[in-house]
Amino acid sequence: MKPIYAFEDADSKNRMLLGGKGAGLSEMTRMKLPVSPGFTITTEVCNKYYENKERLPKNLMVEVSKNISKIEKKTGKKWNSNTNPLLVSVRSGAAKSMPGMMDTILNLGLNDQTVIGLTKKTNNPRFAWDSYRRFIQLFGKVVFGVKDTKFNNVLKAAKKKQGTEDDSELDVDSLKHIVTKYKKICKNHTKRKFPTRPNEQLQLAIEAVFKSWMGERAVLYREKNKISKDIANGTAVNVQTMVFGNMGNDSATGVVFTRNETDGTNEISGDYLTNAQGEDVVAGARTGKDISKLRNEMPKSYDELRKACKKLETHFREVQDIEFTIEQGKFYLLQTRTAKMTAFAWCKTSVDFVKEKFVSKDKALARIPAEQLEELLHPIIDKKEVKKFKSLTKGINAAPGAANGIAVFDVKRAVAMSDANPKLKIILVRDETKPEDVPAFFPSKGILTSEGGKSSHAALVARSMGKPCVVGCSELKVDYERKKCVANGTTVREGESITIDGSSGNVFVGEVPTIKPKIPIEWPILLSWAQKVKRLGIRANADTPDDAKRARKYGAEGIGLCRTERMFNAADRQRTFVEMIMAEDVGKLKEKLETEENKFERKQLESKINLEERKRRKVLEKLGRLMKNDFAQILKAMEGYKVTIRLLDPPLHEFLPSSEKLRHMKPKKRKEFRQRVNELKEVNPMMGHRGVRLGITYPDIYETQIRAVFDATAKLVRKKINAKPQIMIPQVGSIEELNHIKSIYDNVKSDMEKKYKIKFKINFGTMLEVVRACLTSNELAKTAEFFSFGTNDLTQAVFSFSREDAESKFLEEYKKKEILETSPFQSIDESGVGDLMDIGISRGRKIKSDLEIGICGEHGGDPDSIKFCHTADISYVSASPYRIPVAIIAAAQAAISKK
């Protein structure tokens, strides 16, 4: 194992070993670009350090010294010199970039001697002493863990004493005084003298960078961004000769993108600061100037920068994000990496790259981070404005897009406030949400919860509705009583503005401006390329006509799941649905009638049955009409494409008021509701009275739904609209269940054909979401004309995990303890759930070789799961309308990767 590579000697392809930064520096050195000399300590050393109980390997510092000597030769500078001292930066860098998560130390090598050397060399004592005080502060913070506030207090006092407000105006005497004080702070903290020998400083700095790999911030970042060991295993340490952007007005430092990272236009974008060090830019202490200004300010350097951008982009065939420094007119590159861009910019640059004959169409599709394309359909935070706003907290980015509005903590109040003023922008803030809170989702622009993970109720519902959502803000304390929430010492009361960014998890105080989404003009071009290569069909999970239209606009080829229960979520519809549930179950009354002998009692019962039946029929007819209209609009929006309509699935009690709401009801109504709630109560609702089991016990509900599908279809057929509905039954576990519902379907069909004199072709199929359904799919295939995997329920069943409980109680810990790498509710668990799916597919297709088999669980929009579906010979994936671009590109990428 070679522990250290000089930039010019390293194999720059080996990012796992060198980290992204090290690989980039070595590649740029090989390309003869202006990079100051340095070396990389490999990620293997980092792993050794941890294996060794956090001790550096024995000979490491000997090797480091040899490499420092090499730098001395190249630069002519000397380590620990009082005439021309060599100073270095010590930076972290893992295979996957983790911006701001690990530590960096600048100006290392300074002490009371070398600061004199630096003064002599630069003829600039102010610069030398300013560098020294910056070094002690950064070193003290990173290596010794001294709080920044201690240093800042000294700085503040010195400024006050000198009568200035600006750091850059501090004179040499003040800076010398600060250095003495800073050293004292460190000494008090560590109970030893501040280290003066550069070798010792360097050793401590290397150890600190390795330590930061396991720092809380970094561990959390890896967890949230799914950075597993095979993606990045440890950090490398880059030790590089310091170059200074703060050596006067002929010096500068900046960050640029080789193309505009927001809209993808082919021009350099970014900003820079004259006479500043990199950390001033990162810390946002000073506002940068637009890079175009550098052309006039330092034309020679600007030209070098432009050429370097072109050279690097051409070399890597990818947009680059570049850090540079100009030291007294001399241009240096500090870093290059693949740029992080908006989804919009990814689309534009992919199409441009092909036009410029830069990459092939396949490469252009493959380079897009599919997952990010969900952004295309949501408003995003205006990056230019965000700096002006205070951060409130950060949680888990559960549903993308940004939303601003007033905080409201109560479900009823959110609905009432929006009824009174429909233009009101509301952010619903809760500890967690439950099904009965869904009416408040409709008027809310976004959802924020202090608890829960990516599969919590709030996250799932918000995602399916396309509303931004941030969950799991553990620092956020919600106080329902006082109508306020508090995080990090800041209080937000009802009616005060907040902004949530569901793409990053950030929450801000105030209304951060957002940018409205628009379809990039390049999208249809990408879509046509993707359609040519992908095998998988792409359908949408859409429950409303608006969702259906949105999905079509982006290229959905049908609807794979229309959850009919979602049609009753809006507050007014929910009332009708509840009326239906409350209409007394006449089955029991009829049983009673059979045994009742008293004539008078019989009469009474008969008239009650009559009344209840009429009442129930009336509500069902009303629901039928509502559904017919919705179905007709959805089918019309999807003209020519299949629309899979799933009959009612959730248990009825989910629609009844919570005990909290019951408490606020009038006594008579409360009694009625309480009785029904008690009747419908279940021990384990997930495995209880739901799906096909409801259809068997309440056949009139399924019959009403089936009729509504036929009615809607007839309406469209008459208008010569090519409607292609299919009816799907949830939770089926046996052929007997399926056949039972099939006979209801057959009866309705024959009725309808007589009524409308139309020969309907409405396919009848089943979901595969119960383990037994997968195992007996050969039997189900005899009746079913199509299958669709409900991987949400199937995952629950295979793991015996209840999704909600798993997310809120133990999944995070499972991931932390590496028992599970990712949540199986996010990405298909290939070895368990995937295997069962393979069985379901092969047994079903033995009976009908061309059986259409889709997938409509959350996984249908997840790129890794889509890859699995491509290989498993699934016919199509169905994803939320907002994830259609993700699914299309991921399906194309799956096909390209198998070429």
In the complex, the residues that contact ligand PEP under the rule CB under 6 A are 561, 563, 649, 769, 790-793, 856-857
Q: Which is nearer to Mg ion, 742 or 859 (CB)?
A: 859
Q: How far is the CB of 232 from ligand PEP (least distance, A)?
A: 32
Please answer whether residues 194 and 186 qualify as being in contact, where contact means their C-beta atoms are separated by less than 8 angstroms: yes
For residue 857, the partner it binds in Mg ion, ligand PEP, none, with Cβ less than 5 to 8 A by kind, is ligand PEP
What is d(CA 673, CA 584) in angstroms, rounded to the nearest whole number? 11
3-state SS, 3-51, equals CEEECCCCCCCCHHHHHHHHHHHHHHHHCCCCCCCEEEECHHHHHHHHH
User: How near is the Cβ of 568 to ligand PEP at its closest, in Å?
Assistant: 14
Which of ligand PEP, Mg ion, none does 856 bind, CB closer than 5 to 8 A by kind? Answer: ligand PEP
Residues 35-74, mask of contacts with Mg ion (x by CB under 5 A): ----------------------------------------
Q: Which is nearer to ligand PEP, 327 or 543 (CB)?
A: 543
Minimal distance, residue 490 CB to Mg ion, in Å: 40
Does residue number 375 form part of the binding site for Mg ion (CB under 5 A)? Answer: no
537's contact among ligand PEP, Mg ion, none, with CB below 5 to 8 A by partner kind, is: none
Q: Could you say which of 177, 378, 457, 653 is catalytic? A: 457
Extract the tokens encoding 560.
């794979």
Which helix (H) or strand (E) segment is 428 a member of?
Answer: strand 426-430
> DSSP 3-state assignment of 822?
coil
**Are β-strands 477-479 and 402-408 bridged in parallel, bridged antiparallel, or unpaired?**
unpaired
- Between 55 and 772, CB nearer to ligand PEP: 772
Query: What secondary structure letter does DSSP report for 145?
Result: -
Alpha-carbon distances, residue 445 vs 50, 398, 403, 569 (angstroms): 46, 14, 6, 16
Antiparallel, parallel or unpaired: β 38-41 and 4-6: antiparallel
Interacting residues with Mg ion between 507 and 536 (CB under 5 A): none
790 binds Mg ion (CB under 5 A): yes
How are the residues of the chain apportioned to helix, strand and coil, as percentages rounded to the nearest 5? 50, 15, 30
401 binds, among ligand PEP, Mg ion, none (CB under 5 to 8 A by kind): none
- What would the DSSP string read from start to end of 67-88? HHHHHHHHH--BTT-SSSB--E
With CB cut-offs between 5 and 8 Å by kind, which of ligand PEP, Mg ion, none does residue 563 bind? ligand PEP
* Residue range at the interface with Mg ion (CB under 5 A); choices 227-235, 428-436, 785-793, 838-846: 785-793
Kindly tell me which of 291 and 770 has the beta carbon lying closer to ligand PEP.
Answer: 770
Using the contact rule CB under 5 A, the part of the chain among 157-165, 264-272, 790-798, 844-852 near Mg ion is 790-798
The H-or-E segment that residue 252 falls in is strand 252-257
9-40 exposure pattern, b = at least 16 Cβ within 10 A, e = fewer:
ebebebbbbbbbbbbbbbbbbbeebebbbbbb
Beta carbon of residue 731, minimum distance to Mg ion (angstroms, whole number): 7
Q: Is 769 in the site for Mg ion (CB under 5 A)?
A: yes
Measured from the CB atom, the residue of 254 and 857 that comes closer to ligand PEP is 857
Q: Does 793 help bind Mg ion (rule: CB under 5 A)?
A: yes
Nearer to Mg ion, 301 or 788 (CB): 788
Binding partner selected for residue 791 from Mg ion, ligand PEP, none, CB under the kind-specific 5 to 8 Å limit = ligand PEP
Residue 222 touches which member of ligand PEP, Mg ion, none, C-beta under 5-8 Å by kind: none
125 touches Mg ion by CB under 5 A: no
- Using only C-alpha atoms, the chain has a radius of gyration, in whole angstroms, of 32
The binder of 85, among Mg ion, ligand PEP, none, by C-beta within 5 to 8 A per type, is: none
Yes or no: say if 451 and 471 are a contact pair by the CB < 8 Å rule.
yes
Asked if 271 and 288 touch (Cβ cutoff 8 Å), the reply is yes
300, 322 contact by CB (below 8 A): no
Q: Which is nearer to ligand PEP, 651 or 857 (CB)?
A: 857
- Choosing from 46, 309, 469, 856, which is the catalytic residue? 856
Shortest CB 622 distance to ligand PEP, Å: 24
Could you tell me how many residues make up the chain?
Answer: 899
DSSP β-bridge partners for residue 446: 427
Query: Closest approach of Cβ 805 to Mg ion, in Å?
Result: 16
- Give backbone dihedrals phi and psi of 113, rounded to 5 degrees, phi first: -85, -50
Judged by CB under 5 A, the stretch of 148-156, 761-769, 804-812, 863-871 that binds Mg ion is: 761-769
Residue placing its CB nearer to Mg ion in the complex, 182 or 825: 825
User: Which partner, Mg ion, ligand PEP, none, binds residue 784 by CB below 5 to 8 Å per kind?
Assistant: none
In whole angstroms, the minimum distance from the beta carbon of 452 to ligand PEP comes to: 17
- The whole-angstrom separation of Cα 649 and Cα 681 is 16
How many whole angstroms separate alpha carbon 855 and alpha carbon 488? 42
Interacting stretch for Mg ion, rule CB under 5 A, among 227-235, 305-313, 639-647, 786-794?
786-794
Contacts of 596 (CB under 8 A, 6+ apart): 602, 605
Site size toward Mg ion (CB under 5 A) is 3
Active site residue 856: yes
Residue position matching structure tokens 């359904």: 773
Token representation of residue 178: 């600060």
Output 501 or 769, the one with its CB closest to Mg ion. Answer: 769
Instruction: Pick the piece of the chain touching Mg ion (CB under 5 A) from 159-167, 231-239, 636-644, 789-797.
Output: 789-797
Tokens of 165: 């407000």
Only one of the segments 150-158, 432-440, 535-543, 791-799 lies at the binding site for Mg ion (rule: CB under 5 A); that segment is: 791-799
Question: Given the complex with Mg ion, which of 711 and 769 has the nearer CB atom?
Answer: 769
Read off the tokens for 269. Answer: 């974008």
Least distance (Å) between residue 771 CB and ligand PEP:
12
CA atoms within 13 A on the CB side of 64: 26
Query: Which residue type is seen at 661?
Result: K
Q: Which does 881 bind (CB under 5 to 8 A by kind): Mg ion, ligand PEP, none?
A: none
Binding partner of residue 323 among ligand PEP, Mg ion, none, CB under 5 to 8 Å per kind?
none
CA distance 584 to 672: 10
- Residue 790 Cβ, how far from ligand PEP at the closest point, in Å? 3
In the complex with ligand PEP, which residue's Cβ is closer, 234 or 790? 790
Distance CA 417, CA 569 (A): 18
The CB-of-840 to Mg ion minimum distance in angstroms stands at 14
Task: Please say whether the dihedral angle defined by the alpha carbons of residues 545, 550, 552 and 558, taken in this order, is positive or negative.
Answer: negative
Query: Please, which residues bridge with residue 853 across strands?
Result: 787
CB of 585 to ligand PEP, least distance (A): 24
Q: How does DSSP assign 200-250, residue by residue? A: HHHHHHHHHHHHHHTSHHHHHHHHHTT--TTT--SEEEEEEE---S-SSTT
- Binding residues (CB under 5 A) for Mg ion: these are 769, 790, 793
Residues with catalytic annotation? 457, 856
